[in-house]
Amino acid sequence: MAACPSPSREAIHEALVCYAKADDSVGLREVPRPKIGPNDCLVKVKFCGICGSDINWFHGKHYGNWTPPVVLGHEWSGEIAEVGAFVQGFSVGDRVVAEGTGAFCPLRQSAGQRLAPRPRELTMETAAMIEPLVVAYQAAVHNSRIRVGDTVVVIGPGIIGLYALQLAKMSGAGAVVVTGTTNDQKRLAVAKLLGADATVDVSQVDPLEVLKTVGDGQGAHLVIDAAGTASAVTQALALVRRYGQIAKIGWALAPVNDSLDALVAKEVTYQGILFHTVELWDASVNLLRRKAVQWEPLLSEVWPLSRWREAFTRLEARDAIKILLSPEE
């Protein structure tokens, strides 16, 4: 484990910090209370979801130009504790949620978030689970074209994949197949609960053979790669049909080491998915307001921040779907 710098005398609260580009360089550390500018708000976080990218940071695998030390967590809801002099529309005590639409700046050195009011119809826990839904919405609805009766494959039954499953069904997909591995048995069971027409443990069954029995048997019109592994890239190329689409969400953070010739041979549209717009955020929030998508089966635990390591372990073992951490023990 890399050495961690000692806290300054100004430190007054704990945060989960990645403090070096090395494996197991994440821990609870005392950090100074942030000093806000005239256009900023200071938010007291109530709930924060653990993302797969946080697990990558834990193992020293970073993307983009972010440089440790970095306070982890970008899927949160909270209450405004302080408001800058020029801020309009927000007041101390307002309940808000992090919105990632500010992340397009090429010079950013953090998650690049902006504030959105917490919709009154949603609990603080639900609000902390909006961001993964927006990513799934961009992949399954906005950036893809699902026609009534299409076959859709979702690789990876994590929270984004299970949101994408529901959105694909809503968009008219004739069949949705969700793939995972032996470690994903609990998640695949939730996929069935949420309406998956078939689930496949790719460690035991060839998903290509399963697809031959689905729809017209010609493969997937759309493959949503929410797994973030090099093998998922290979799987997506095998499962997509000619003139089909692949929406890649998950970060592999490793070489694919395989041919991409299938993109040419099948004339496939390959789309990367990362951040979103305000319009996509609003559309996703409205789905939660109308209870058009289910989030309850996706929330495995709500734990105090002190149990962060246990939460990371469970998520990495794929024994949970989404765990929220709360600083208020």
CA 319/CA 329 separation, integer angstroms:
23
Using one digit for the tens of pLDDT, what is the confidence trace for 246-297? 999 987 777 888 899 999 999 999 999 987 888 999 999 999 999 999 999 9
Give the CATH superfamily of 133-272: NAD(P)-binding Rossmann-like Domain (3.40.50.720)
Both structure tokens of 68: 């440790």
Both structure tokens of 186: 């609990």
Q: What is the pLDDT of residue 270?
A: 96
Q: Please tell me which residue, 309 or 6, carries the higher pLDDT value.
A: 309
- Residue of 276, 288, 48 lying closest to 141 (CA atoms): 276
Q: What is the pLDDT of residue 4?
A: 47
Using one digit for the tens of pLDDT, what is the confidence trace for 138-179? 999 999 999 999 999 999 999 999 999 999 999 999 999 999
Report the mean per-residue pLDDT for the chain.
91
- Residue spans of the domains in the chain: they are 11-129+295-326, 133-272
CA 265/CA 279 separation, integer angstroms:
35
- Residue 104: band (very low, low, confident or very high) from pLDDT cuts 50, 70, 90: low
Pairing relationship of beta strands 175-180 and 151-155 according to DSSP bridges: parallel
CA 250/CA 53 separation, integer angstroms:
9
CATH number assigned to the domain covering 11-129+295-326? 3.90.180.10
The DSSP symbol for 141 reads I
CA 218/CA 211 separation, integer angstroms:
7
